[in-house]
Amino acid sequence: MADQASLLPAESLTVAYIGLGSNLGDSLQILRRTWEILGRQPGIRLHRLSSPYRTRPVDMATRNWFVNGAGSVLTALSPEELLAVLHLVEKRFGRKRDPAARGYRDRELDLDLLLYGDCVRREGQPVLPHPEMHRRLFVLLPMAEIAPDVRHPLLHRSMGDLLRSAAHGSDEQAARRISWPDTTA
C-alpha cells in the first residue's frame, strides 16, 4: 500500500530540512543508513542529501569529531509528526533523550528539524526554525550546499548569506567536506 507522501503531488507537500549528526561509531554509515530509513517512513519522500562534513564538536568536551549533513524531504506530516519520526529513528540507533540532562553528549545519531516550509513557532515542540541553526557552521555548510537560496523565515537571509556571515572569522579547520562511502560494492 502506498503512503500518503507518494500519492500526493510534490507541490502539495511541505519541504522540510533535517540536520543529521553523529560522533560515535561508524558515523558515515550511520548517517547513510539513517537517510535510507527516513525514506521508508510513511509521509516522507526524500529530496536532497548534502555531502557529509567532518566537524569539530561545539559546546561540548569530547575528542570525538562529528560527521554532519543536511537533507531535504517532502512531507505530508505535520511538524510534530515529523519530529516524532526523527526521534523514533534516533532511538533505533540507541539515542536516549533525558530531559533532565544538561549539556551535549556524544551520540550515535542526532536528528534536528531545521526548517519546515516557512513555519515559525516559538513555543512547543518543535521550535521552528531551529533556534541555533544560523550560528552553526555544521548546519550552514550542508544547508548552503543543498539549498543556498532558501531563506531563514525569521532572519530573511539565505542559507548562503548566513554561511558567509558565520564563516567570517571562524576556524577554517573546524569543518571540512568529506565523501559518502561507496555503496556500489
Q: Are 126 and 112 in contact (CB under 8 A)?
A: no
Determine which one of 32, 107, 136, 161 is catalytic: 107
Cell 556571515 sits on residue: 165
Active-site annotation holds for 107: yes
- Roughly how many angstroms between the first and final C-alpha of the chain, as a whole number? 31
Which of 32, 110, 136, 161 is labelled catalytic?
A: 110
Catalytic residue among 45, 112, 136, 161: 112
Distance CA 178, CA 71 (A): 16
Q: Could you tell me if 28 and 52 are in contact, meaning their C-beta atoms sit under 8 angstroms apart?
A: yes
Tell which residue, 144, 131, 142, 137, has the closest CA to residue 166: 137
User: Is 110 designated active site?
Assistant: yes
Options 95, 105, 151, 157, the catalytic residue: 95
The secondary structure of 154-185 as a DSSP string is: TT--BHHHHHHHHHTTS-GGGEEE--PPP---
- Indicate which residues carry an active-site annotation: 95, 107, 110, 112
